[in-house]
């Protein structure tokens, strides 16, 4: 019996996970604590409203995951992200922000966060992100992905019709099938195909699909 009890304790210790939520809005902290608690993925939830408090918690114990707001009172959440990367590289990082500016998107893409979720999205997006990263996967929320795609599309100046054609090409549809789906002529499809290869600076369909994936355009496909 004692051996079984010790084995049970050992299993509980192995699956015990802790999370730190860093945000300077008390209502947001309370809401996230409730959301995460009800989900049950983490056994220990701690909250901090500023950088010094977050640092104190991080220095006292190992944190499996940290949810970090970019804009803290008199502080920048990016500083905490850099600190975690340098001193606690095993801690998974979820950026939870309301900022949608192009410079923010570019900066976030360079910070190597495990997941990024925008605050104005359904709370389920945050829970999805947490479960994904615990499975060893990265996650960008739906709206953040749309922002990335919008930025990339503007950079290469793809029209909405070209994006539609690119989607069907990436799914392996033939020229005639695409023409039928979009109610356009086969010649028009070939015209768009030619423009896509020209704008993406590729020589064939395989390169075009690969280039689209590298740019993040795969998220709007299928």
**pLDDT band of 2, cuts 50, 70, 90:** very low
What lies within 8 Å, CB to CB, of 166 at 6+ separation is: 158, 196, 208, 212, 217, 221
Q: What pLDDT was estimated at residue 6? A: 47
- Structural domains of the chain in order of their starting residue, each with its CATH number: 2-147 (3.40.50.2300), 157-220 (1.10.10.10)
**Tokens read off for 104:** 């923010």
- Answer whether residue 3 shows pLDDT above 60: no
Please report the pLDDT score of residue 95 as a whole number: 93
Which of the 8 DSSP states describes residue 222?
-
pLDDT higher than 60, residue 14: no
For the chain, the straight-line distance linking the first and the last C-alpha, in angstroms and rounded, comes to 54
Distances in whole angstroms, Cα of residue 186 to Cα of each of 102, 108, 181, 206: 37, 41, 11, 20
Q: What is the pLDDT of residue 222?
A: 35
What is the reported pTM?
Answer: 0.66
The length of the chain, given as a count of residues: 222
Model pLDDT, residue 143:
87
Q: What is the mean pLDDT of residues 53-59?
A: 94
Residue 18 has pLDDT above 90, yes or no: yes
Rg of the Cα trace of the chain?
A: 22
The better pLDDT of the pair 101, 36 is held by 36
Backbone angles phi, psi at 159, to 5 degrees: -80, 165
- To the nearest whole number, what is the mean pLDDT of the chain? 84
pLDDT above 70 for 13: no
Residue 124 corresponds to which tokens in the numbers above? Answer: 């389920």
């Amino acid at each position: 019996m004692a051996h079984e009890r010790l084995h049970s304790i050992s299993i509980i210790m192995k699956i015990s996970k802790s999370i730190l939520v860093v945000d300077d809005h008390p209502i947001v902290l309370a809401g996230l604590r409730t959301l995460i608690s009800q989900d049950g993925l983490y056994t220990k939830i701690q909250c901090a409203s500023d950088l010094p408090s977050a640092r104190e918690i991080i220095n006292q114990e190992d944190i499996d995951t940290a949810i970090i707001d970019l804009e803290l009172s008199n502080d920048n959440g990016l500083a905490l992200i850099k600190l975690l990367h340098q001193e606690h590289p095993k801690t998974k990082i979820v950026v939870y922000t309301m900022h949608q500016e192009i410079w923010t998107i570019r900066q976030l893409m360079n910070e190597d966060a495990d997941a990024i979720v925008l605050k104005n999205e359904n709370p389920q997006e945050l829970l999805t992100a947490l479960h994904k990263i615990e499975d060893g996967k990265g996650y960008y929320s739906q709206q953040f992905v749309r922002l990335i795609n919008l930025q990339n599309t503007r950079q290469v100046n793809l029209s909405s019709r070209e994006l539609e054609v690119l989607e069907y090409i990436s799914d392996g549809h033939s020229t005639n099938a695409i023409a039928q789906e979009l109610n356009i002529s086969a010649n028009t499809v070939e015209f768009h195909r030619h423009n896509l290869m020209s704008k993406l600076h590729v020589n064939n369909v395989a390169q075009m699909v690969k280039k689209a994936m590298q740019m993040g355009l795969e998220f709007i496909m299928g």
